[in-house]
């Protein structure tokens, strides 16, 4: 996401016609993307917290992370490069409806999903590409350099879209697993039916 401030190319001597409109479009685009990102992040973190709260009620064996830390890891520098992936991966594994009993080690049989890995990988790479686009934009002194930054931004935005689609698939997958686990968990906790006696 590029937000090219006017002072980065303020020298009119190197500003071809139309550059100001390009900068304005970039600023508007950056503001809209920022608002969209903040709203989406809030929704995702609220969902993540609630999904972790459900784990205990669904009989998951000793989640390694609390609902608070599941969210908190996203805000700790450097740790947020790895820990959010581990948090969501654990959530995926321990929501497995096939794991019927909360027995130690049994949850490990569920296995991770490559979907979680692809989501997190695309998210990290898109952030790196966005930082590169921002750096190119802030250092740009000519229209050609700005357009180069815009090309990098297009790649970054494409990766962000892919990461967003994968995130939706992860959310839907975990929700579906937890719903199935909840149905099975409730069914297993029902009392047995009363005995029936054949009439003579």
Classify residue 52 as exposed, middle or buried by CB count within 10 Å of its CB (0-12, 13-18, 19+).
buried
Residue 172 lies in a domain: yes
Structural domains in the chain (count): 1
User: Does any domain span residue 167?
Assistant: yes
* Domain contains 47: no
In this prediction, residue 157 has a pLDDT band, given cuts at 50, 70 and 90, of: confident
Q: Output 199 or 167, whichever has higher pLDDT.
A: 167
75/53 Cα distance (integer angstroms) = 19
In-domain check, residue 46: no
Q: What pLDDT, on a 0 to 100 scale, did the predictor assign at position 138?
A: 80
Q: Give whole-number Cα distances, 85 to 26, 132, 177, 189, in Å.
A: 31, 23, 18, 32
Residue scoring higher pLDDT (172 or 189): 172
| 83: in domain | yes
Report the percent of the chain where pLDDT is more than 90.
43
Whether 22 maps to a domain, the answer reads no
pLDDT at 52 over 70: yes
Closest alpha carbon to 85 in 121, 139, 55: 121
CA gap 29, 99 in Å, rounded = 46
CA atoms of 139 and 8, how far apart (whole Å): 7
Residue 175 has phi, psi (to 5 degrees) of -60, -45
Q: Which residues contact 143 (CB under 8 A, 6 or more apart)?
A: 15, 16, 18, 19, 22
The Cα 103–Cα 80 span in angstroms is: 30
What value does the mean pLDDT of the chain take?
A: 80
Note whether residue 79 is domain-resident.
yes
Range with the largest mean pLDDT of 4-13, 74-83, 95-104: 74-83
Distance CA 82, CA 120 (A): 9
Q: What is the pLDDT of residue 199?
A: 57
pTM of the model: 0.74
Three-class secondary structure of residue 103 per DSSP: coil
pLDDT at 197: 55
CA distance 120 to 166: 9
Residue 125 located in a structural domain: yes
Q: Look at residue 14 in the predicted model and tell me its pLDDT.
A: 46
Model confidence at 76, pLDDT cuts 50, 70, 90, reads: very high
**What is the residue range of 88's domain?**
58-187
């Amino acid at each position: 996401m590029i937000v090219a401030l006017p002072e980065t190319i303020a020298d009119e001597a190197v500003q071809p016609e139309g550059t100001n409109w390009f900068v304005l479009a970039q600023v508007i685009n950056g503001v809209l993307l920022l608002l969209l990102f903040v709203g989406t992040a809030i929704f995702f973190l609220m969902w993540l917290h609630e999904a972790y709260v459900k784990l205990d009620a669904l009989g998951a064996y000793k989640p390694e992370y609390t609902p608070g830390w599941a969210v908190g890891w996203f805000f700790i520098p450097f740790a947020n490069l790895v820990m959010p992936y581990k948090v969501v991966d654990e959530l995926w594994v321990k929501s497995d409806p096939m794991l019927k009993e909360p027995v130690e080690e049994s949850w490990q049989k569920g296995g991770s999903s490559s979907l979680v890995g692809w989501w997190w990988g695309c998210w990290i790479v898109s952030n790196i590409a966005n930082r590169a686009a921002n750096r190119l934009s802030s250092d740009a002194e000519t229209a050609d350099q700005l357009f180069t930054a815009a090309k990098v931004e297009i790649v970054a935005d494409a990766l962000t879209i892919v990461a967003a689609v994968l995130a939706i698939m992860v959310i839907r997958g975990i929700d579906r697993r937890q719903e199935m686990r909840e149905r099975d968990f409730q069914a297993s906790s029902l009392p047995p039916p009363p005995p029936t006696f054949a009439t003579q």
